[in-house]
Amino acid sequence: MTQQDLIEQFAIEQLLYKYGFDVDNRDAAAYADCFTPDAVVSGPGFEMRNDVAGPTIDMLSSMYEATLHCVHNHTHTIQGDRATGMTYCVASHIQNQNGQRSKMDMYIRYHDELVKRDGQWRFSKRRLEVVCTTTVPVNPAG
Amino acid sequence: MTQQDLIEQFAIEQLLYKYGFDVDNRDAAAYADCFTPDAVVSGPGFEMRNDVAGPTIDMLSSMYEATLHCVHNHTHTIQGDRATGMTYCVASHIQNQNGQRSKMDMYIRYHDELVKRDGQWRFSKRRLEVVCTTTVPVNPAG
Amino acid sequence: MTQQDLIEQFAIEQLLYKYGFDVDNRDAAAYADCFTPDAVVSGPGFEMRNDVAGPTIDMLSSMYEATLHCVHNHTHTIQGDRATGMTYCVASHIQNQNGQRSKMDMYIRYHDELVKRDGQWRFSKRRLEVVCTTTVPVNPAG
């Protein structure tokens, strides 16, 4: 392993984290920049192509008060300007139904393909394997 | 990005983790060393200055059987001996009320300012944004 | 801190993650390769020696539909080809009892000793400190 390998691994880790921050911040432009222009994002019952960022942000904004994508274990194999890998994530979704707030947690294994262009790593494919979801009440604020 | 940049990023990541370990270990001296002497820690309805470590450890010790600060996504921008960044954390607090144990999870986004002095990164400001809290029962031990 | 130190720290982090991936994938051969041949794994009420991987995978396969070992904060002190450290993990266990699915989360602090042999870090001792467990229902799929 070389210093350059470490730098690339760090850059990919930061992309995994940035994905979570951008989507939770509802920052569509920053989120779009996590993907290549021809990226494909898929999961149980859906597949998105081309503009994956806008519709995702719109959907999350309309359905949830807030989200928090907590990113955990990750491993990536890099070959030149391409990489494949897996990442665990627990994505918490705060819902408000008639004043009753709850937290839906989605347990995700992301299966990813990445490409480095112009010095920046981006997702070209991101497939969500959803292990399960759980929902618990949110405590009253205060 | 240089080798030195990676070393600084690693040192900051370790500080984020050390913060969690020290507070969960109720190690007030180690925890105090996470902060500059003039550090300010703030959050919903509170702001602490000067000795932030002692009162925090005392409060947690009196209220909870145990805590576990699990640190997730983080990103930091470093400029010389200063840095700013954000960190996700789910802080689990084990409560015991008349023998009924429960786990209160606090979903936190830490907004941080850091300073490197004498070769060590420390928090000069740490602002807690609390996204929500949830409480679920703890299973009987055994 | 040197470039080599960073490379060793990265390799240990990847072992922590690999442990989670391998056990969740029920990959007994890969999981076994996380340990030295004489490794000891212990926790509340149990101690395993020699073949720790096979029985662990068999037990998890028989008891749970799926597991997800999410690895969090970690810190390791390296001295030559030996290291000691601590790692936080929330291990989610998906149970199915007569069609009722639930998720049992085990909050773990792993206390580890590691050895580097033939260029690869492995656990020689792994002690599980279980802070608590919680169980919540799993949402219906779909």
pLDDT in tens, A19-78: 999 999 999 999 999 999 999 999 999 999 988 899 999 999 999 999 999 999 999 999
What's the one-letter identity of residue B43? G
Please give the backbone phi and psi of residue C3, each rounded to the nearest 5 degrees, phi first.
Answer: -60, -40
Asked if residue B51 has pLDDT above 90, the reply is no
Chain A residue with Cα closest to C135: A134
Q: Is the pLDDT of residue C142 over 90?
A: no
| Cα–Cα distance list, B84 to A141, B68, B116 (Å) | 28, 24, 12
Q: Is it the case that residue A141 has pLDDT exceeding 90?
A: no
Query: Which residue, among A86, A66, A109, has the nearest Cα to A13 in the 3D structure?
Result: A86
- Chain A hits for C68, Cβ within 8 Å: 88, 107, 109, 131
**What is the pLDDT, as a whole number, of residue B142?**
58
- The nearest CA of chain C is from the CA of A76 a distance in Å of 10
Using an 8 Å CB-CB cutoff, list chain B residues near C136: 136
Between residues B36 and B142, which one has the greater pLDDT?
B36
As beta bridge partners, residue C42 has: C47, C127
- Tell which residue, B8, B19, B10, B31, has the closest CA to residue B89: B19
A60: exposed, middle or buried (C-beta count within 10 Å: 0-12, 13-18, 19+)? middle
Which residues in chain A have their CB less than 8 angstroms from residue C119's CB?
none
Q: Is the pLDDT of residue A104 over 80?
A: yes
Spatial separation of the C-alpha atoms in residues B142 and B121, rounded to whole Å = 41
Distance from CA of B88 to the nearest CA of A (A): 7
Of B24, A10, A95, B15, nearest in space to C75 by CA:
B15
Per DSSP, the three-state class of C8 is helix
Query: What pLDDT, on the 0 to 100 scale, is given for residue C66?
Result: 98
C-beta separation of A122 from A34 below 8 A: yes
Look at residues B88, B90, B96 and name the one whose alpha carbon lies nearest to residue B64: B96
* Single-letter amino acid, residue A117: R
Distance CA B99, CA B12 (A): 39
Domains of chain B: 3-137 (3.10.450.50)
Choose among B91, B140, B109: nearest CA to B43: B109
Q: Once rounded to an integer, what is the mean pLDDT over residues C11-26?
A: 98
Rounded CA gap, B110 and B130, in Å? 9
Report the distance separating Cα C60 and Cα C18, nearest Å.
17
Torsion of CA B91, B95, B100, B106, to 10 degrees: -30
Half-sphere exposure of B120 (CA within 13 A, CB side): 10
Q: CB–CB of B105/B92 below 8 Å?
A: yes
List, in sequence order, every residue forming a beta bridge with C94; answer none if it has no partner. Answer: C66, C103
Compare all CA atoms of chain A with the CA of B6 and give the residue at the minimum distance: A7
Q: Radius of gyration over alpha carbons of chain A, in Å?
A: 16
Distance CA(C88)–CA(B67), nearest Å, equals: 12
pLDDT of residue A51: 86
Which residues of chain C approach chain A closer than 8 Å at the C-beta?
A: 3, 6-7, 10-11, 14, 16-18, 20-21, 66, 68-72, 92, 94, 101, 103, 136-139, 141
Question: From the list A3, A6, A94, which residue is nearest B131 (CB)?
Answer: A94
Give Cα A36 distance to the centre of its chain. Answer: 14
Res B141: pLDDT:
80
Q: What digits encode the pLDDT tens for the residues B59-103? A: 999 999 999 999 999 999 999 999 999 999 999 999 999 999 999
H runs (alpha helix) in chain B: 3-24, 28-32, 53-63
Best B69, B70, B134 residue to mutate vs chain C (most C CBs within 10 Å): B70
Chain C residues with CB-CB distance to A104 below 8 A: 139
Residue B18 neighbours by CB under 8 Å, 6+ apart:
B30, B34, C75
Supply the pLDDT for residue B134.
Answer: 98
The encoded tokens of residue A59 equal 């959907």
Q: State the best of A76, A132, A135, A136 to mutate against chain C, taking most chain C CBs within 10 Å.
A: A132
pLDDT of C141 reads 80
Q: List residues of C whose CB lies inside 8 A of any B CB.
A: 1, 3, 6, 9, 72-75, 86, 88, 90, 104, 107, 109, 131-136
| pLDDT reported for residue B84 | 98
Check residue A142 and give its pLDDT. Answer: 58
Dmax over Cα atoms in chain A, in whole Å? 55
**Bridge partners of residue A35, in order along the sequence:** A123
Q: How far is B53 from chain A (nearest CA, A)?
A: 23
- Percent of chain B surpassing pLDDT 70: 99
